[in-house]
Structures are given as C-alpha cells and as structure tokens.
Structure 1
Amino acid sequence: MTRKLLIPLFFITSFFAEAQNIVWKTNFNDAITVSNDEKKPMLIYFTIDGAPKNIETEIFKTPDFAVWSRDNVVLVKLDLSDQSVSEAVRDQNIKIKNAFGVEELPQVCFAMASVRKGKTTFNALGKVAYKPGGAKSWINDCNLLLRPE
C-alpha cells in the first residue's frame, strides 16, 4: 500500500520540481544565438527591483509554464536594476527596452532577432501583459500571438 502511494508521489514531486528549474538567459546576445539555433522566438521579460511579482509567482513558477516555455520559447530576463551587470550591459538592456516601446514594468515581449555585420535587427512579435486567470489563460494568449490563425 505504501509503495503504491510513493510511486505517484515521486512523479508528482518531480513534475513540480521541474517548474523550478527554468533557465532564464540574462545575456541578450547569447539569447539571440540560442533563439536562432533552436528557431524559437525569445520571451523577453523586462523587470526592475520593486516591480509587482504577480507574473512571476502566478505564471512563471508553474509546471504549465515550465513545459510550455521549454517547447516554445527562449527565456530572456532583463532586470534593469541589476547592479551586478556592467554599465555597458545595463545601457544595452535599456536600449532594448526602449526599442520595444516598453513603458511599464514588468512587461513581456516576444521577438526574433538576427545579427548581421555586427548590427542586431529585431522582429517584434508583440507583447503580452499579466492578467489574473492563471498560467493556462496567459499561455493561451501567448499562443494566439505567436501562432495567429
């Protein structure tokens, strides 16, 4: 009897632990390379210290988001208040934020990008704001943006 309970518990625990193993790229140039290699758009999460954390706690830390993001996007987190990055990286991140027309933080943008002759060209796919309703609803909005039919 105990064994029958432990096996499903093991799988459930593994599944929820996977949601915590999401890897966010913080170097934009590396993210562009991975995005192009995997032929997946980037999900760029612009944030700053003190910004509301609803999207992180209700969306990004769920098993649904972990599975969806692994299969569909390259995750990029640009924390504009991160003191551990160089001034040049911080300036680059602010320029990227401005290029996407981001005014309020946090904000999620989707894009493809390419680098040719040292110049980065973006193909902005759109923005998806946080809204209450859970991860499945938010993911559905993202899918509509990424795969318009």
Structure 2
Amino acid sequence: MEYDSSYLNTTPGKAKISCLTFGFIGLLAVNIARVYVPTYNSAAGTAFLITLILLLLLICKSSLRQSSIFRIIELVICIILTIFYVVGSVDIIRACWHWLFDDFKIGPFIGSLIASICSILATLAYGYDAIDKLRETRSVSTSNV
C-alpha cells in the first residue's frame, strides 16, 4: 500500500475534502442541536462515510485513479450522493422552517439552519464532482477511439 497525498491538491480531491467538511459540519450542527431529521441524518451520514472511504482509497491506491472502471463507479456514486443530499436538504430545510415559524426554539433553529446551509453547499460540491467526473469520463472515452 502506497500513500500519495498529491490527490488532495487536485480539483477532485478538493471537491471530496469540501464534501467531507460540509457533511461533517452539518451532521455536527444537527447532533449538537439535538434535531433528528431521519432523511437528512441518513443521507449525510451515508454520504460522509462513502466519501471518506473513496478518499482513503484514492490516497492509498494511486493506481485506482487511472482505472476507467473506477472512474465510472465514482461517477455513479457521486450522482447517487447528490440525489441523497437533495432529498436530505429538502427535509432539513423543512425542519428549519418548522423551528423558525411553528415551534420557535433558538437551539434547534440554529442547528437546522447551519445544517441546511451545509447541505446545500454539499449538494453543490457533490454535483460539481459528478459533472467533473462526467467530463473526465467522456474525455477519456473519446480520446481512446
């Protein structure tokens, strides 16, 4: 097993770091505020774990970065995680709305607001990563013809 941290300086590496950061901050805010939104918690938790595993694989196995099959698998994973975050974002924004207008409590409102912002940013980061992977996959497939 070899360690290659140069992946962290690439655009996909920075996208994965931002996804992990936004996911972690959102999960932390929801858990500190003791707001339980099952859809958001499961979407953000699943996305965080899968992204962390992918990042560790890409850092430790630099040969995976050149594999076209792994790029396609990573593209599919990015698309699925983007959809997870879209669904989770809708639910956490709805919870934030509830804590603001229906049952005003400052702690759950602030926690769900931070999680809402982080979930929107994570959705954008996963979407960007998916688009970047799609462009990369298309350029590799057309250059081999």
Shorter-chain TM-score bucket reads under 0.3
More strand per residue = 1
Structure having greater relative contact order (Cα 8 Å, sep ≥ 6): 2
| TM-score, normalised relative to structure 2 | 0.26
Given the two structures, how large is their TM-score scaled by the length of structure 1? 0.26
Higher helix share: 2
